[in-house]
Structure 1
Amino acid sequence: MDHNLSQVQGAVQTLTQSSDTLFLLLGAIMVFLMHAGFAFLEVGTVRKKNQVNALVKILVDFGVSTIAYFFIGYWIAYHTTFFSGAEVLAAGNGYALVKFFFLLTFAAAIPAIVSGGIAERARFHPIMIATFFTVGVIYPFFEGMIWNGNFQFQNWLESQFGHPFHDFAGSVVVHAVGGWIALVAVIFLGMRKGRIRAGKHTNFAPSNIPFLALGAWILSVGWFGFNVMSAQNLNGISGLVAMNSLMAMVGGILAAFIVGKNDPGFIHNGPLAGLVAVCAGSDLMHPLGALVTGAIAGVLFVWVFTWLQNKTHIDDVLGVWPLHGLCGAWGGIAAGIFGQQSFGGIGGVSFIAQLLGTIAGILVALLGALIVYGSLQKITGLRLSEEEEFNGADLSIHKISTINEE
């Protein structure tokens, strides 16, 4: 009898492990697909002479990110390596290996975010070196602090304010960190040639609205893997996370539609702003709180991006700092507001801890990016020559353009 019971328990355990592994693998694939969304969002926004570069950059960034995270970043964040024998790695249905793939797709979002900000004038190889260090060192340093309890930061927040910093799916850990790193890179690179004419700011129109829209759709769909599957096992799957992601996305769409005055670029970035903001508290908020969080993010993106493009010399091509940096920071703080029971949330979150955790992410991103991009600026330079920029990154770097007429 005991033997039969142990057999049944073993079979159930194996089935659970296999199901969790498949669940997380599907999540990893969905987030991996989001990188196609990043690529097409950039392809549709930049001028035609830089479209090939956008596609190549995102793909090679992913390859470099994988190497950096496999050899350095994952060890920094989780004190785990994969240098034992393949037989050992394969034991237990490979859940740990799939978890690495899932978390890698998050890490690789950092250079994908940066790519949109620095488009059209960045040299290729220095940016790949920057990708290696941002994914290998800067991102996992903060990821480990928040998601693995490194450096006792979370313990300190909990002892001081009753709760640790809560970031369920990476509003701050992924998006704010990526957005603030991008801001530093964008400032180092300076404005694209031709943006100031006769003393006035001019904006380059998106080259392909259908591609821009395709990128936004791919990202929006993949985001449900990004958020829902951050539970990392079937037992933790939450319909609330799915509902809140949906409501925040819709809040972002409608807010960007209204405030953006029918502009298709704003409307297609609206859902992304809402989804960035809801990542942190998607497992805590009431759907109405998520709707408000997404709507505020949509307004924040439109207003700040408009201000950047028309009033400053910060030339953020896709608006990745307002979209990811500011909306991500808002998401970290929003979790501390709409996660509270008094606002219809589940509770178990501290506003002060959320504020301090968000500030910590911004500081790590800024300091790390200053070191990485500042060093590369001095050693190799980050920007294409004026002639190369005029000809476009496609011809200057890749020796081919999107349209080759016979």
Structure 2
Amino acid sequence: MSNSSVGGDVFFVLMGAILVFAMHGGFAFLEVGTVRHKNQVNALVKILVDFAISTVVYFFVGYSFAYGTSFLVDAATLSGGGGDFELQGLTLVKFFFLTTFAAAIPAIISGGIAERMKFLPQCLATAALVGIGYPLFEGIVWNGNFGLQSWLELTFGAGFHDFAGSVVVHAVGGWIALAAVLLLGTRLGRYDAKGRVIGIPPSSIPWLALGSWMLCVGWFGFNVMTAGSLGAASGLVAINSLMAMVGGILTALVVGRNDPGFVHNGALAGLVAVCAGSDIMHPVGSLIVGGLAGALFVKGFELCQNKLKIDDVLGVWPLHGLCGLWGGIAAGIFGLESLGGLGGVSLVSQLIGTFAGVAYAFALGLVVYGGLKAVIGLRLSAEDERKGADLAIHKISATPESDILR
């Protein structure tokens, strides 16, 4: 390859990494707008610190688990001087790109455990999940580790197809979050003594909306730049992402009865679901997949909060867990040539890969958060929870000047 073509690929992947990095701001503001005012600072700090921890553990441990490459070599080699490293640091920007995916796992979990989780155990959980837990499954799907993909292809004609992470990232994050939320328990005052729901309204619809917009914009880097090079970039991925997003918005609008929280999360539900098959589905298929995901999120959120009494603050299990599961299966349906897709997928492989992913993620969440609960505990004291995580953990509120003037 010429220097100009390698440089183009470096720039392409770097822009994707930057776009997905910006999505973490979206995670933060989506949580800021949903939690109560007394927990807004904690939401911002959690997402940023989780990203920092994720980067360090993924650099030293996680990437090696997934792809067998260590960065503990000299800078000349890292820049493309031999071994597993591509020219002009292309491998390094690919690491940056994949780090933003890995760091999405704790960012997803953060929304479910908000308002009552202690800070240290969440930091330790992030290190364990991004350093070991997530890369093990990532390597199985995206690097062919342990032979599962080869077996699926040999047995069913195609491996498990998850182009941009409906299952690898979103379903895994969502099902880990479900385990964490169940172990953590409900917020004080969320349900009364008879189990009736006590409403806790969002603190700021504009902040929530900003978070959704940031995530939507960055998602086109998440999906399109997964191609890994300029030569492999596909406009089909972009238009499929767009159609799934608007499908999710419209069905969430109708099924959610104009609720702004549902509408803004409906866009994300559609994008979660389209990740797996965004490179092989027809745009009409993507519109259907996204539309069904928007409705699935609304009904899943209502089931989670009202029927099952699971206090998942941002609804990350229905949004990422259920819609990610649907996306993995949908790729095996709407990716078929008979439904306008490009083919090369097997519904049986999609079912096996998807359910293996969610089972692994839920078990992983129980192990990591269950272990931490047994050793150091997960939850803030009742006093600190009533005070709010901002003052209890960070000793400052979202509006420090107003506190002084009281």
Q: Structure 1, residues 265-318: CA drift from partner, whole Å, max 9, x if none?
A: 000000100000000000010000000000000000000101111122210000
Q: 1:32 aligns with which of 21, 26, 33?
A: 21
Q: How does 1:36-75 map to 2 (within 5 A)?
A: 36-75=25-64
Q: How does 1:307-346 map to 2 (within 5 A)?
A: 307-346=303-342
Q: Does 1:349 align with 2:345?
A: yes
In 1: Cα distance, 2:193 partner to 2:128 partner: 39
Shift of 1:197: 2.5
TM-score under structure 1 length normalisation: 0.96
Task: Give the conservation status (yes or no) of the 8 Å contact 1:188–1:373.
Answer: yes
In 2: Cα distance, 1:257 partner to 1:385 partner: 38
In 2: Cα distance, 1:100 partner to 1:198 partner: 49
Q: Does 1:401 align with 2:397?
A: yes
Per the alignment, residue 247 of structure 1 pairs with 243
Q: What stretches of structure 2 of length at least 5 have no aligned partner?
A: 81-86
Q: 2:137 aligns with which of 126, 136, 142?
A: 142
One-letter amino acid of the structure 1 residue matched with residue 66 of structure 2 = A
In 1: Cα distance, 2:126 partner to 2:285 partner: 35
**SS of the counterpart of 1:234?**
coil
Task: Give the conservation status (yes or no) of the 8 Å contact 1:190–1:313.
Answer: no
In 2: Cα distance, 1:270 partner to 1:328 partner: 13
Per the alignment, residue 179 of structure 1 pairs with 174
RMSD of aligned Cα (Å)? 0.7
Q: 1:129 aligns with which of 124, 132, 147?
A: 124
Task: Give the conservation status (yes or no) of the 8 Å contact 1:249–1:294.
Answer: yes
In 1: Cα distance, 2:221 partner to 2:371 partner: 36
**SS of the counterpart of 1:235?**
coil
**SS of the counterpart of 1:207?**
coil
One-letter amino acid of the structure 2 residue matched with residue 96 of structure 1 = T
Q: 1:119 aligns with which of 99, 114, 123?
A: 114
TM-score under structure 2 length normalisation: 0.96
Moved more, 361-370 or 48-57: 361-370
Identity of counterpart residues, as a percentage? 65
One-letter amino acid of the structure 2 residue matched with residue 29 of structure 1 = I
Q: How does 1:5-404 map to 2 (within 5 A)?
A: 13-91=2-80, 92-197=87-192, 199=194, 200-404=196-400
Shift of 1:88: 1.6
One-letter amino acid of the structure 2 residue matched with residue 325 of structure 1 = G
**SS of the counterpart of 2:161?**
coil
Task: Give the conservation status (yes or no) of the 8 Å contact 1:72–1:136.
Answer: yes
Q: Structure 1, residues 43-63: CA drift from partner, whole Å, max 9, x if none?
A: 000000000000000000001
In 2: Cα distance, 1:152 partner to 1:57 partner: 36
One-letter amino acid of the structure 1 residue matched with residue 88 of structure 2 = N
**SS of the counterpart of 1:49?**
helix
In 1: Cα distance, 2:239 partner to 2:326 partner: 19
Task: Give the conservation status (yes or no) of the 8 Å contact 1:203–1:309.
Answer: no
Task: Give the conservation status (yes or no) of the 8 Å contact 1:130–1:373.
Answer: yes
Q: Structure 1, residues 138-160: CA drift from partner, whole Å, max 9, x if none?
A: 11000000000000000010011
Q: Structure 1, residues 195-242: CA drift from partner, whole Å, max 9, x if none?
A: 112521112100000000000000000000000000000001101000
Task: Give the conservation status (yes or no) of the 8 Å contact 1:40–1:214.
Answer: yes
Q: Structure 1, residues 7-46: CA drift from partner, whole Å, max 9, x if none?
A: xxxxx61111110010000000000000000000000000
Task: Give the conservation status (yes or no) of the 8 Å contact 1:201–1:311.
Answer: no
In 2: Cα distance, 1:239 partner to 1:108 partner: 26
Shift of 1:330: 0.3
Q: What stretches of structure 1 of length at least 5 have no aligned partner?
A: 1-11
In 2: Cα distance, 1:268 partner to 1:168 partner: 24
Question: What stretches of structure 1 move > 4 A for 4+ residues in a row?
Answer: none
In 2: Cα distance, 1:84 partner to 1:96 partner: 13
Number of residue pairs matched by the alignment: 395
One-letter amino acid of the structure 2 residue matched with residue 19 of structure 1 = G
**SS of the counterpart of 1:236?**
coil
One-letter amino acid of the structure 1 residue matched with residue 61 of structure 2 = I
